[in-house]
Amino acid sequence: MDMHEKVVLITGASRGIGEAAAFAFAEQGAKVVLAARSLEAIEGIAREIGERALAVRCDVARFDAVETAVARAVAAFGRLDVFISNAGVIEPMAQLAEADPEAFGRTIDINTKGVFHGMRAALPVMVKQGGGTIITVSSGAAYNAYPAWSAYCTSKAGALMLTKAAHGEYADRGIRALGLSPGTVATQMQRDIKASGLGPVAQLDWSDHIPPEWPARALVWMCGAEADAYLGQDVMLRDEAIRKKVGLV
């Protein structure tokens, strides 16, 4: 996919899927804005990518921080073509009667409200310039209630509904809204899940998880017309047919 001179903002870009996506888009010629709470981490990644990368400290739970990140992307590169909501957390992993209410609320703030904040900040810019793509990193947890994962499952289900809402409201104004459900990916989150011992995913071996470079490549593919059949819904990377389209098998 030719992303030459396109501007891509990625949240949660300090590691895992977000970091891999930053390199994947840069390799295709895009200008990349890395957003994360850890400025030191994303500054290091931005230096590796070079002058076409910008690092911006951003807590997606705060709308003003996301709005500032979008404004800095436009100020630096003149436009915003792709916004990827990748930042996410899974804690608290606990039964409902034992889950910490503040931690539960924080997960909603990041995983659901963070997606809304991204849409709210990016949509006015994209509509004004005539179009853009908004991708949310989703999960199978958006569709299934896994034991001890009530916060994560609820937050991801809400994020999926935001994708559907964005598509329904803005498709006729040039906005491509869709999600990526990557399956289980070899990231720090999977190490945390394994350490918890809670739920079926915790029982998987590390070799069962796909590398973060796979969803990164899928995200680039999703910016092209071949993914238009999936607008308003999640692209399921577990699907072998999808993997073939992306070039992963």
Return the beta strands (E) in the chain as ranges: 7-11, 31-36, 53-57, 82-85, 132-137, 175-181, 234-236
The answer to whether 36 touches 29, Cβ cutoff 8 Å, is no
The answer to whether 166 touches 175, Cβ cutoff 8 Å, is yes
Q: With respect to residue 62, please indicate whether it lies within any of the assigned structural domains.
A: yes
Q: With respect to residue 106, please indicate whether it lies within any of the assigned structural domains.
A: yes
Q: What is the pLDDT along the chain (249 residues), one digit of tens a residue?
A: 679 989 999 999 999 999 999 999 999 999 999 999 999 999 999 999 999 999 999 999 999 999 999 999 999 999 999 999 999 999 999 999 999 999 999 999 999 999 999 999 999 999 999 999 999 999 999 999 999 999 999 999 999 999 999 999 999 999 999 999 997 776 777 777 777 777 777 766 656 677 899 999 999 999 999 999 999 999 999 999 999 999 997
User: What CATH number is given to the structural domain containing 77?
Assistant: 3.40.50.720
Q: With respect to residue 1, please indicate whether it lies within any of the assigned structural domains.
A: no
What is the pLDDT, as a whole number, of residue 207?
67
Catalytic residue among 146, 152, 170, 230: 152
Q: With respect to residue 71, please indicate whether it lies within any of the assigned structural domains.
A: yes
What is the pLDDT, as a whole number, of residue 185?
74
The candidate with the shortest Cα–Cα distance to 221, out of 205, 204, 241, 201, is 241
Q: pTM (2 decimals)?
A: 0.93
What are the backbone angles phi and psi of residue 237, rounded to the nearest 5°? -75, -10
Q: With respect to residue 249, please indicate whether it lies within any of the assigned structural domains.
A: no
Q: With respect to residue 210, please indicate whether it lies within any of the assigned structural domains.
A: yes
The answer to whether 110 touches 88, Cβ cutoff 8 Å, is yes
Q: With respect to residue 114, please indicate whether it lies within any of the assigned structural domains.
A: yes
Active site residue 170: no
What is the pLDDT, as a whole number, of residue 62?
98
Number of domain units in the chain: 1
Q: With respect to residue 19, please indicate whether it lies within any of the assigned structural domains.
A: yes
The answer to whether 171 touches 129, Cβ cutoff 8 Å, is no
What is the pLDDT, as a whole number, of residue 198?
72
What is the pLDDT, as a whole number, of residue 37?
95
Domain assignment of residue 73, given as a range: 7-244
What is the pLDDT, as a whole number, of residue 249?
75
